[in-house]
Structure 1
Amino acid sequence: MAERSQGAALSPADQAIMRDLLGADRERTLERVASLTRDWDAIVQSAALVATDDEHDPEGSSTAFERAHVQSLLDQAQSHLADLDTAMERLNDGTYGVCERCGRPVAVERLKVRPAAKTCITCATARR
């Protein structure tokens, strides 16, 4: 694999690989959003069928937890979807694979594992 200089774009072969990885990750994420949305709708529909009082119903706390848990997972999936869309935009405009913090190249190996990565491993580690 040829090394990229600071700010250099990905090779055409790497761009094609990343486009495929981003597309596959996007499809999986869309399926996850759809599944979680169905779960959310089922929880809401189930709760609407009975007059529950979450505060006093022994099952209410688990229903509230389940609803909050699914909502959190749905929020995460939608956020990841937005990150993937942003990554695809960066791939199209030539800024994909360049760290948003330091401007150095993001390792292709990192991008293959985390296609929506915006930072190099050095900057990602420093944020912790």
Structure 2
Amino acid sequence: MSDQSANAGFAAPQGESMRALLAADRVGTLQQISALSREFEGIVEANALVAIDDEHDPEGASTAFERAHVAALLSQTREHLNDLDRALERLERGDYGRCEQCGEPIPTERLEVRPAAKTCVRCASVAR
């Protein structure tokens, strides 16, 4: 990688800083996936020990909700991991820091808060 990349005008040290942010976020996300996986497995194992009829057991509804809630969090966290991996790929290709919608640079401040961001604030607000 050259001293000046196409990464929205990132100089090499700033690109390395973004790489470090992405890597740190990735490590935290992997830890979160591990914790959520253990929690989900614990819920499933606990329910396997007792015959719970979610439909007719007064506690079954809350157990089903808890299982679904953890499963949804796990799915969101895995998607975030995919977003981080795609951001690392964009960094390697040299197009990290450019909005996928309008092509304008994503402000560094946004990338510092949301390292996997693929759109600028304006385009992200339109998409919602």
Calculate the TM-score normalised by the size of structure 2: 0.92
Conserved 8 A contact 1:9-1:95: no
Pairwise mapping of residues 5-16 of structure 1 onto structure 2 (< 5 A)? 8-16=8-16
SS in 2 for 1:73: helix
Which ranges of structure 2 fall in alignment gaps of 5 or more residues?
Answer: 1-5
Shift in alpha-carbon separation, 1:51–1:7, aligned structure 2, 3 A: closer
For residues 86-106 of structure 1, the C-alpha deviation after alignment (integer angstroms, 9 at most, x for no partner) is 000000110100110011111
Counterpart CA distance in 1 for 2:115 and 2:8 is 17
Tell me if structure 2 keeps the 8 A contact 1:84–1:116: yes
Q: How does 1:1-128 map to 2 (within 5 A)?
A: 8-128=8-128
Deviations 1:42-80 (A, max 9, x none): 000001001110011111001000000000000000000
Aligned partners of 2:38 and 2:76: how far apart in 1? 16
Closer/same/farther in 2, CA of residues 7 and 43 from structure 1, 3 Å limit: closer
Kindly indicate whether structure 1 or structure 2 has the higher relative contact order, using CA contacts under 8 Å at least 6 residues apart.
Answer: 1
CA gap of 1:19–1:36, structure 2 versus 1, over 3 A, is same
Q: Percentage identity across aligned positions?
A: 56
Cα distance between partner residues in 1 of 2:34 and 2:27: 11
Checking the alignment, whether the CA contact within 8 Å between 2:7 and 2:94 is kept in structure 1 is no
Size of the aligned set, in residue pairs, is 123
